[in-house]
Amino acid sequence: MANQRWRDKEHCVSSIFIIIFTVIRHHLHQTKQLSLNFEKWATECFLKLVFFSQPYREVFEFFIGSFKTYKPLLSAIRNEYEVTLDYQKKRIHELEPLKAMVATASEECTLQILALQEKQKEEIRILDQEKQHLLKIIGHMKEEKNSLQIQVERLQASVAEEYSRYLNEHSVCKLLLEKLNDMNAQLDTRPLAVVKGEDVVKLTLALKVARQDLTKAHAMLTQMKASYGDDVPRRDFESLEKKYSYLLQKVIQHNSTPRPKWEKCSEVIPGGIDQWHRLAEGKTSDELVDVLLEEIGTRVLKEIKVFHGQGKGDNIPVYLRHEGEVRNRKLTKKDVVNILKDIWKEKIALEHLPEFFLSYLQKQYGDAAAMEWSYTLFENMRLCRSNHILSSTYSVLTGQVGEEQYHSQNQLISNLQEELAACDSSDSGSLTSKQFSMALREAFPLKRKESIQELVDASRCKLDSSEDLIDYLSLFKEDEEGNAEPFVAKLRTQYVREKQEYLRQLKNKLGNLFLNREVKADDLKTAFCMIDPGIDDQTLDTYIGLAYRVQTDEPAQEVVPVETVLERLTAGDVRRVGPSPGPPPNSGCFSPWALWSLG
């Protein structure tokens, strides 16, 4: 780099010398003072400047000393050149950091390029290895394909040989059958030829007459089918006529009975017609009577100041054993629902509900006020039978049903919520009707299509016909009085209906098997297995324990009447475990194979 700058200086000095020499020569030529000595001197100066490379100051000093006349001009040129050199030195000094920065950046870029090249080499090596591996796999697959192709060709050849052999054997069998038929025909005709007294002409005439009778019979049968094809047997006609008379009488009786105007109830129900419509929605006349009695009973209950104790006898439930008057706490239905929910939440599985019911009230309100709360809660539960929590707790307290039935229904609803949440992959809280129906079928594989459709319709009761998204989270909400949505109510109704149908099948099976109306444990197990083949041993032992009031590990030895068995099973959590048994194959149909096997 230093040599380059020195060469630039030499070039610059040479150029300046040539310019000065040209100017002086032109001036001397104009003044006629140009001589040979000047030419020689200028040439020496130029050679000295170029070949000996003296510093430019010595050159200018030499010029200035030799040419006195042009001293001012040469001095100005020297000064200008020095200024230019100083400016260039300053610029070079300023650009030195940039040069170092450029060198550093160039080095970094070079390192990055080398690193990228190494990385690309590694990736290329890995890709090359994968390529070789895939080529090996392709080679193996090609070999396997060729092997399979050879096997297919061998199998095709084997099938062709088998088919040819089958055709040959089939032809041989046909020939043998024809030969056998000929031999049988010869055996059949040989006895006829030796029978005495038989006339061939007479037999021919008899055959002709028989054919004519057969033709007449066919014609008569065709005529009878055309004339009486739409008629039904007399026994079917009488059965239909009896059924028609019964239904007609029922319709006449229904039309003759005056129908009550339920709208009048809205005048005495708090909340007016809107409240009555909400209470009466989707209910039958019998259920409307219960609703009306509940409203009247609730109003009367609020007017009662004290209850009369039922005594302290052993036949009185422990939570009602009291003598004397008991103050009515006058609770609202909302308060009753909240208290009962807390009781079920605090209760553990091993405790008996009547005893825990009393102990909970004593713990919460003290021994003195416990009976007041107990009587008030009991009377509210007795009157408000349309509320699920109140009616279920009342049934368990009075021993009408077991606690496991209450827990089973809640577990059923909880399992359905989990299944619906599992189907909601986006966690939006909504499902389409198709997704909702599929989730119901997954959660309840034993339900009929009609029951699934009932649940879908109940879930869409508050939706427009154009909406397809079902907000499944809102289906499980309750109001402040514990009343569930129509979907949950329909689910509980189906639970009861399916249980009743299951026990009705058991009753029919027991009635067919045991005419003496008493049944043993082993016979009851047999009946359960007949109506529910998919039932497991543990569930079967649980049902037997319910029916005979024994533990699952204790044998049931006694004989119990069928009605008692059904009552005990009705109180427990009894439901179908497996699918219903289908009809036996070919039931009621004639089987030619069975006849052939007998022959």
pLDDT of residue 15: 61
Do residue 451 and residue 561 come from a single domain?
Answer: no
437 and 451 Cβ atoms separated by less than 8 Å: no
- Calculated CA dihedral for residues 17, 18, 21, 23, nearest 10 degrees: -110
Which two three-digit tokens encode residue 68? 């006195």
pLDDT-derived band at 6, boundaries 50, 70, 90: very low
More confident residue, 266 or 505: 505
List the one residue out of 118, 140, 120 whose CA is nearest residue 128. Answer: 120
pLDDT value of position 127: 92
Residue 26: predicted pLDDT: 55
Q: Among residues of the chain, what percentage have pLDDT more than 90?
A: 13
pLDDT, residue 512, reads: 64
Please check whether residues 305 and 411 belong to one and the same domain.
no
- DSSP code, position 478: B
Q: Which amino acid is at 418?
A: E
Other beta carbons within 10 Å of 11: 11
Residues 315 and 351 in one domain: yes
Same structural domain, 14 and 63: yes
CATH code at 458?
1.10.238
Task: Please report the pLDDT score of residue 86 as a whole number.
Answer: 84
Q: Is residue 415 part of a domain?
A: yes
- Indicate whether 427 belongs to any domain: yes
Q: What is the pLDDT of residue 33?
A: 45
CA distances (Å), origin 264, targets 2, 259, 273:
120, 12, 9
Q: What is the dihedral of CA 372, 374, 378, 379, to 10 degrees?
A: 0
Q: Is residue 16, in this structure, part of any structural domain at all?
A: yes
In a domain, 168, yes or no: no
CA atoms within 13 A on the CB side of 537: 1
Q: CB neighbours (10 Å) of residue 80?
A: 10
Q: In this predicted model, what pLDDT tens digit does every residue of 265-303 receive, in sequence order?
A: 766 677 777 777 777 776 677 777 777 777 788 888 888
Q: Which tokens sit at 91?
A: 């610029």
Residue 239 belongs to some domain of the structure: no
pTM of the model: 0.54
> What CA–CA distance (Å, rounded) separates 83 from 154?
103
Q: Domain tally for the chain? A: 4
Q: Which of 370, 422, 402 is nearest to 542 (CA)?
A: 402
Full residue range of the structural domain in which residue 376 is found:
282-400
Between 200 and 158, residue with greater pLDDT: 158
Question: pLDDT at residue 41 above 60?
Answer: no
Phi-psi bin for 330: left (phi > 0), alpha (psi -120 to 50), beta?
A: left
Residue 477's contacts (CB-CB under 8 Å, 6 or more residues apart) are: 484, 485
Same domain? For 437 and 480 the reply is yes
Q: For 202-221, what is the mean pLDDT?
A: 86
Amino acid 238: pLDDT? 80
Would you say residue 399 has pLDDT above 80? yes
**84 and 18 in a common domain:** yes
Arithmetic mean of pLDDT, 352-379: 90
Kindly tell me if the per-residue pLDDT of 482 is higher than 90: no
Q: Which of 372, 400, 428 is the last residue of a domain?
A: 400
Q: Does residue 220 belong to any structural domain of this protein?
A: no
User: CA nearest 375: which of 324, 422, 417, 420?
Assistant: 324
Contact between 325 and 372 under an 8 Å Cβ cutoff? The reply is no
Q: Which amino acid is at 149?
A: Q
The two beta strands, 469-471 and 430-432, are: antiparallel
Which comes out higher in pLDDT, residue 66 or 569?
569
Q: Are residues 288 and 370 both part of a single domain?
A: yes
Same domain for 394 and 410, yes or no, is: no
Question: What pLDDT, on the 0 to 100 scale, is given for residue 198?
Answer: 53
- What is the number of alpha carbons within 13 Å of residue 423 lying toward its C-beta? 23
- Residue entry with tokens 């006529």: 241
Domain boundary among 77, 93, 118: 118
159: tokens are 């099938």
Q: What is the pLDDT of residues 73-90, one digit of tens each?
A: 877 877 887 788 788 888
Q: Residues 85, 9: one domain?
A: yes
Give the residue-averaged pLDDT of 508-516.
69
**Mean per-residue pLDDT over the chain, rounded:** 79
Q: What confidence score (pLDDT) does residue 72 get? A: 80
Give the residue-averaged pLDDT of 92-115.
89
Residue 65 in domain: yes
Residues 505 and 488 reside in one and the same domain: no
Residue where a domain terminates, one of 471, 496, 521: 496
Where is average pLDDT lowest: 168-177, 248-257, 360-369? Answer: 248-257
Task: Tell whether the model's pLDDT for residue 135 goes beyond 90.
Answer: yes
Least confident window among 31-35, 257-261, 343-347, 416-420: 31-35
Distance between CA atoms of residues 576 and 138, nearest Å: 55
The distance of Cα 513 from the centroid of its chain, to the nearest Å, equals: 44
What is the per-residue pLDDT for 63? 73
Q: Which of 531, 532, 555 is nearest to 544 (CA)?
A: 555
Task: Write down the pLDDT at residue 82.
Answer: 78
Indicate whether 378 and 307 sit together in one domain: yes
Question: Residue 211 is encoded by which pair of tokens?
Answer: 């054919």
Q: How much is the pLDDT for 93?
A: 87
Same-domain status, 88 and 103: yes
Confidence tier at 132 by pLDDT (50, 70, 90): very high
* pLDDT(584) > 80: no
Does residue 346 surpass a pLDDT of 50? yes
Residue 368 lies in a domain: yes
CA distance 317 to 352: 12
